[in-house]
Amino acid sequence: MGAPEVINGFIKAGKEQANLDTNQISDGYHTFGELYEHRIALFISMLKQRTLLLPVEQDSEIWKSKAHSDGSVWDGWFILGLYKDRGKQITYHLPMSKWDETSFAEPLDKAPEWDGHTSNDVLERLKQL
């Protein structure tokens, strides 16, 4: 078992046994919570800028939904996405506190069917924008 697995095991055990707030875990420079806030702010800003730079017909490529395609929800979270087509989707779950900040996104009753993208897929798709 390598160091990452050992550290992740400690975090999981601490979270379950001691009610550990993983948002407070730090690499010595930033906490997980800070890094997530940065990711959220950057994604919202990027999509907002796209709406200003692209023709109106492409605005519908940016969407948000409180429900997954199967109707299930994550309490306190919504999905913000770029592109609905399989193989192109870039999505993140965001806290409901950010819903109003994303008024530029088309609200959908249900998210498009998830294309199975992974974190690595999202990174590659972001690099191709």
Total domains, the chain? 1
- Structural domain range at position 105: 55-128
CA angle, 55 then 61 then 63, to 5°: 125
Residues 18-35: tens digit of each pLDDT:
677 777 888 889 998 999
Q: How far apart are CA 94 and CA 78, in angstroms?
A: 5
Residue that wins the pLDDT comparison between 89 and 13: 89
Structure tokens at 59: 């605005």
- Asked if residue 11 belongs to a domain, the reply is no
Q: Please tell me whether the overall predicted TM-score, pTM, comes out greater than 0.85 for this model.
A: no
- Asked if residue 106 belongs to a domain, the reply is yes
- Asked if residue 37 belongs to a domain, the reply is no
Q: How far apart are CA 90 and CA 71, in angstroms?
A: 19
The DSSP result for 26-46, as a single string, is: BSSS-BHHHHHHHHHHHHHHH
- Asked if residue 2 belongs to a domain, the reply is no
Task: Give the pLDDT confidence score for residue 56 in this predicted structure.
Answer: 64
- Asked if residue 14 belongs to a domain, the reply is no
